[in-house]
Structure 1
């Protein structure tokens, strides 16, 4: 359906024709379509969806009352088994249409936002066609087949790796791709009701952004269908205030091109102030409004050059991370709220760019990046290899569909139209470059290159993105050493550290503190080198989150390169990112060690190089209240990092309470305490949201942490946690949870049941620590 991202102003019931959106699933007591509003906002459409009532069968498994988003096979947080999902599955649901107004006729479209990896829907006995590909929408017009009552929708889903579509490699094992692709209808399924003629393909492009006197918005769209006396009006809105407008008529093919000028007072979209506006387009028949479409507009310029990256004319060194959309237990089948939370987590780590590796991700995540001010590099699905002619045709289709879906997001600054780490293919990548230019010439293109292709001349895209895993020996440690930028392209480091160029292959909380600390040191080295070279646009570390995988350096089916774990909790490696923020916005004091003196977690194992990341000019350290050390930033090793770490020596310390005071000049910015006494340890529970929607789809995260008395992480505590849930909710996660095996930190997700309003209480019982609980309200408006 449409890519709306702010709720449009309503038109009158008489004037509009009352078109809306239905999300499939049956709850008779709840309205399915809001006929009184001109177009249901895409975000509201998802957040108000009704997705229960599905039946899923396959591989001798039958589940009734399934809620979307859904994965066909429940998994743990590790040891995923592709045999449990790689096969044929069948989804079934029934739905009625609500009574339609009598003053018009309508067209109906069924949309699947994401399904892994191929679907063939059948509505009322009519096969709608097969769509192959797991990461972009499939839409079918069903006007001829849908009826007022008792519609039966059957969806045959092929979850096998043999589907000949990127990133799959038919004929080879599924672990030849780096990430597991857990099958299912893992995004929303919706029904859109449209008039006989409606607006589509809306594209709003700011022009002359940095010149207030010439600043305009170029608007293109298309009218699908015919109607008498068509006319289109476009308006740029700040809230409900109209900043400018224009009217025109479609050409003979239904195409519309117009523009809005006089925009001298608009604010620019910046990382710290991501101001967005809304472009509203209304289709009229004579004087009667018929259909409305809207899209976000952010006024910004983003240019990658051989002299660095420039946002709105100002040079910015990118500090970023890669993101997989995969979660424990359910794969990618998480609702919009949880997808948006990932963006919030990355923003809190001061990430200026995220790479959607290696496929287009949920639109809710992109909307959150728009709103929070995170630059996005979005790429078409692919990983490491090219397929046959059919496979390459899907690459071209994916590039087209990705750009058409997402080109109005101001956060997106790069299109990945050369697939990740694939060999050169002049014909294919000339085509994808041409498609990008035709559909959105306002953004540059790229494609991530690996290893031996560093010197290639067969690169057709605009920005040379390099996955840099070269390393060097520094004081006996393996640390990243970035290659020199190529001189004939803008240069962006799109992966580094990972499991390849840092001091270890695994960064788990159960690993020795030297490895965990080394991850933070390695990421600091990457961003120091990127910032030191004015030709480099910046660097994206690999990776944001740990993820399930059967490929390469994985342990028990999990890859551990994330600076955050699968549960979205920061590891020691996240400290370098957390500290890169102005202390006037947030004071950060993050040691890249645990205040512990037992075995492999002992801080003394780090010798005189125990790093503390803080956005301060000076640190004062105290042991049991007595002065211990005064530290200055390590500018010898990190002269270009905005906030360099501090280097401490605890090799002769055996316990006590640590206090770290952070100063800027004579001003105390903040203080943190850490206890070595395990007697005060506790089990802490927290929920991301105090209230979620009771629609059976909405969910929120509940985090379990073993901490010291001051809330600092304690990785070495043994024991499993048993969870108890009371109330109208469902637990997504392992229970009991072996907390010792994840280093004292884990999470589950809780979702409500359709239409069940009330309070859910989640309790946690540990064999050694006091019990704890948290409550979440299941409401109808959250």
Structure 2
């Protein structure tokens, strides 16, 4: 993470306009707070997020003009999706129009005397920006920032920011493709909107616009960090200039250095500072992701002008023909692919929710790596990967197709912007510089690979290929940091029902399985409403391919497809949703997640997760889960008891899964369900019971649990948290085959993001809504659910 302050500075007042702005209620930040923000040794920008109080509607002629009557426009918060969505049945024609967002604000005089920049972190699918009626900038492509200078355009009166958002599909920009008439040409929908954060930042006339921390010889006593600094000056600077850098860890300064210059020309100047003497720096690792704080200070004529913070971590990540190594130690990469889409809002979720996905991948699914498929994702997600210790593959936008020359130029632009934005993240270990599942394009990919080598010599490049042609395709020339051959391996089992194979690693090149299973191996759908056999199969399929990858050190690892269900109209979708996720669209684990949940050291907590439901009602097997019921656990022994009868002791099935750290347990659970027997599974390690779980077959005591991810959110009009709704037995185990409609209501200063009435049967007894705060309105939010014949709970959230 680079160049962002740790907190918001309340120096810019933003108010919605109805008839006019400059009347009662218009506010201006106190001059003392503003002076402190601009005069202290500060981060590169003080900011006030443009989160709440946007005016929104369809584009009409004149809507970018300052005096446009916007009194009838809707009041919305950003992140924002242009249309309300449900959890299925998305229709892309609903958002494929041109829209406009308007924001009114007052700018203090001290801000107007400095340089001012607008930044849009992500706009789908194209944005054109106007300030006070003047065109400022435009960008097509929705996954990387649009940053534009607006110095001199602010007034001392009502400033009007207008953003025209083009949500139409056939734009000549990655990943869109004008030659295809429908967005189903790619495997994910892209609902339009200002779906990431918007910021207005003020900086001095001469400031630090970028710092790249290049790590050198990290595993040697001579480790070094080269800080490549960009100084941007609006006019020539005379006199002495000094750049000072200090590296700290755990609050203690470890190294510092400086570089002196005599004056600066107008424009950009590149300056490099070397930090040495770093032997005391603790390396960033998965189990202890120790981060470093670097602060670069710009001084002109002995006066501190600007500071630029960089958060990074020192580590050595190497893909080799003999596997992957982190800090010199072999590590089998174990992970999943992630799409960034959510029910109800598309991609328009704020930082807290983005970070939550990283927590799920690390703490519930035990992933060591995630692939950001198939576009750069939110910086909040990457920040969380840095903090939690998850390795990341990040790639340019695109899927399966390459466009014309103009399209390819934008792909090169996206590679540049992606790497410059994210190259200080220690979690990122490889750049995807080639569009997913494309072949050839040697001129284009020669350019993108070379660009990556120039911008970031530390990381290799890759691009996933697929199929027989992809597997035998010629290797791309690789840059100095090397290259990785990444293969989407959807080899089908023969005969059906047997373990799916993997192709052997290609020799002479680092080899990574970048996708496997998905909806192309086994069932086309893995839903809670599918048969128990299908849901059970998902966990076994993922386990088999990970076991295979663990069998040969020449596999760097395997990334399954995928972490979460997502919206798509391409192949094997059902009502606009793809169901390959081991967690569903709502981020609730399926039975298929049980394999991943068990793959952790017991010191982090014992796990017992059946790949079945203990249920004998309609839709469930009346004779129980069967002869080969699967239980995933990281225990040494399981003791299984049905209806209090003589317990059965079972051990991990290492015969079928010899290379997994924690194989499944197989147990004969053929029972007479008419008696509604209870099931108890006890996990033992070292002869001691470490976990005991009970499962009820009697639905009379079932409940619908209402659980919030967070008990507190910020009352800024943007902060949001999830509330999960799950049908559970009396002991907290999932109950399948729910029926009826679940009604959700909210009391207090919170906004419901989701459907107020959910078909709980169609959802398989598990769903979620999200709750957004109201700006400046703290208080207690109560979320309640009601069901016609099952007891329900409530969740409370404090908005502060």
The answer for unaligned runs of 5 or more in structure 2 is 17-24, 61-69
On the 8 A contact 1:176/1:551 being kept in 2, the answer is yes
Establish whether residue 682 from structure 1 lines up as the match of residue 724 from structure 2: no
Per the alignment, in what secondary structure is the counterpart of residue 343 of structure 1?
Answer: helix
Query: Which residue is 2:529 aligned to?
Result: 510
Establish whether residue 428 from structure 1 lines up as the match of residue 444 from structure 2: yes
Paired with 1:486 and 1:771, the residues of 2 have a C-alpha distance of 54
Query: Which residue is 2:216 aligned to?
Result: 207
Establish whether residue 276 from structure 1 lines up as the match of residue 291 from structure 2: yes
Establish whether residue 128 from structure 1 lines up as the match of residue 139 from structure 2: no
Paired with 2:94 and 2:15, the residues of 1 have a C-alpha distance of 25
Paired with 2:403 and 2:450, the residues of 1 have a C-alpha distance of 20
Residues 478/24 of structure 1: CA separation in 2 closer, same or farther (3 Å cut)? farther
Per the alignment, in what secondary structure is the counterpart of residue 489 of structure 1?
Answer: coil
On the 8 A contact 1:202/1:293 being kept in 2, the answer is yes
Give how far 1:540 is off: 0.4
Query: Which residue is 1:234 aligned to?
Result: 245
Matched ranges for 1:700-739 at <5 A = 700-739=721-760
Deviations 1:508-537 (A, max 9, x none): 001001000000000000100000011000
2:419 to 386, 392, 403: 403
Residues 209/601 of structure 1: CA separation in 2 closer, same or farther (3 Å cut)? farther
TM-score by length of 2: 0.92
Paired with 1:759 and 1:333, the residues of 2 have a C-alpha distance of 24
Per the alignment, in what secondary structure is the counterpart of residue 249 of structure 1?
Answer: strand
On the 8 A contact 1:595/1:603 being kept in 2, the answer is no
Establish whether residue 377 from structure 1 lines up as the match of residue 388 from structure 2: no
Give how far 1:201 is off: 2.0
Paired with 1:241 and 1:688, the residues of 2 have a C-alpha distance of 34
Query: Which residue is 1:626 aligned to?
Result: 645
Paired with 2:458 and 2:623, the residues of 1 have a C-alpha distance of 53
Give how far 1:40 is off: 6.8
On the 8 A contact 1:205/1:297 being kept in 2, the answer is no
Paired with 1:29 and 1:676, the residues of 2 have a C-alpha distance of 60
Query: Which residue is 2:779 aligned to?
Result: 758
CA RMSD in angstroms comes to 2.2
Query: Which residue is 2:156 aligned to?
Result: 148
Establish whether residue 74 from structure 1 lines up as the match of residue 93 from structure 2: no
Give how far 1:627 is off: 2.8
Paired with 1:35 and 1:88, the residues of 2 have a C-alpha distance of 40
On the 8 A contact 2:706/2:792 being kept in 1, the answer is no
Query: Which residue is 2:408 aligned to?
Result: 392
Paired with 2:201 and 2:597, the residues of 1 have a C-alpha distance of 42
On the 8 A contact 1:114/1:137 being kept in 2, the answer is yes
Residues 99/6 of structure 1: CA separation in 2 closer, same or farther (3 Å cut)? closer
Query: Which residue is 2:428 aligned to?
Result: 412
On the 8 A contact 2:169/2:176 being kept in 1, the answer is yes
Give how far 1:553 is off: 0.3
Bigger shift: residues 705-714 or 36-45: 36-45
Paired with 1:754 and 1:764, the residues of 2 have a C-alpha distance of 25
Bigger shift: residues 145-154 or 280-289: 145-154
Deviations 1:104-139 (A, max 9, x none): 941011111100011111111111132111000001
Give how far 1:144 is off: 2.4
Paired with 1:145 and 1:651, the residues of 2 have a C-alpha distance of 75
On the 8 A contact 2:618/2:737 being kept in 1, the answer is no
Bigger shift: residues 358-367 or 264-273: 264-273
1:611 to 630, 644, 661: 630
Per the alignment, in what secondary structure is the counterpart of residue 290 of structure 2?
Answer: coil
Paired with 1:40 and 1:624, the residues of 2 have a C-alpha distance of 66
Matched ranges for 1:547-586 at <5 A = 547-586=566-605
Residues 447/648 of structure 1: CA separation in 2 closer, same or farther (3 Å cut)? same
Residues 681/751 of structure 1: CA separation in 2 closer, same or farther (3 Å cut)? same
TM-score by length of 1: 0.94
Query: Which residue is 1:55 aligned to?
Result: 55
Query: Which residue is 2:256 aligned to?
Result: 245
Give how far 1:206 is off: 2.3
Paired with 2:375 and 2:641, the residues of 1 have a C-alpha distance of 48
On the 8 A contact 1:21/1:40 being kept in 2, the answer is no
Paired with 1:218 and 1:625, the residues of 2 have a C-alpha distance of 66
Deviations 1:717-748 (A, max 9, x none): 21111112111110000111111111101000
1:108 to 105, 116, 122: 116
Query: Which residue is 1:188 aligned to?
Result: 197
Paired with 1:23 and 1:497, the residues of 2 have a C-alpha distance of 51
Give how far 1:255 is off: 1.1
Residues 678/189 of structure 1: CA separation in 2 closer, same or farther (3 Å cut)? same
2:762 to 723, 736, 741: 741
How many residues in Structure 1 have an aligned counterpart in Structure 2?
762
